[in-house]
Amino acid sequence: LLLYARRLLEPVRQLFQMGLSQSMIPPQRLFLDLTPEPTLALLKKGLGRRFSLWKEFSDHVPGPTVVQWKYYGTKMGWTMKLLLKERNLCFISAYQGYFAVAFVFGAKAVTAVGQSTLPAELILELVQARKYAEGRGIRVEVKSREALEHAKILIDIKRAS
């Protein structure tokens, strides 16, 4: 029995000897507390060098858009809703060092995404996503310029649909 337990725990022991890799540490979401409400200064501090990607994404979306921060509780924290009049364009969540943009697309927009220049894996992820009354959802973690470009294409399709 002791030999069996050692074999089971060996991979865990090796991980601790090597140290935990970055990919094994869960992402740290910013703005989990009800107060203070997120500000540009807090966002800049939390995103670090990737704040420039956030700024570029925000500047890419032509007006008139409305930015609305909404608190969804202690597990989800604050999320930024980007609206065109009263229509949701996307939801943006901030994490330590990066941000994620979530979209919900109706049938016509899903077709437009399928005909876009986005990578096949991203298109497939959307097409295979569960369908809800609002449409199909997809989330892009913006940690690189390439991911930023994908998010920009998706927001353009969302605005046009």
Q: Which pLDDT tens digit goes with each residue over 138-158?
A: 999 999 999 999 999 999 999
pTM: 0.81
| CA neighbor of 80 nearest in space, from 100, 109, 56 | 100
- Span 110-125, average pLDDT: 96
Residue 95 near residue 27 (C-beta atoms within 8 A): yes
103: CB partners within 8 A, 6+ apart: 89, 90, 137, 138, 139, 140, 154, 155, 158
Q: Tell me how far apart the alpha carbons of residues 68 and 11 are, in angstroms, rounded to a whole number.
A: 45
Burial 99-131 (b: 16+ CB within 10 A, else e): bbbebbbeeebbebbeeeebeeebbebbeebee
pLDDT above 70 as % of the chain? 83
| Token representation of residue 36 | 């203070």
The answer to whether residue 11 scores a pLDDT higher than 60 is no
Q: According to the model, what pLDDT value does residue 19 have? A: 52
75: CB partners within 8 A, 6+ apart: 32
Q: According to the model, what pLDDT value does residue 81 have? A: 94
Q: Which pLDDT tens digit goes with each residue over 15-65?
A: 455 554 445 555 688 898 888 889 999 999 999 999 999 999 999 987 788
Q: According to the model, what pLDDT value does residue 38 have? A: 93
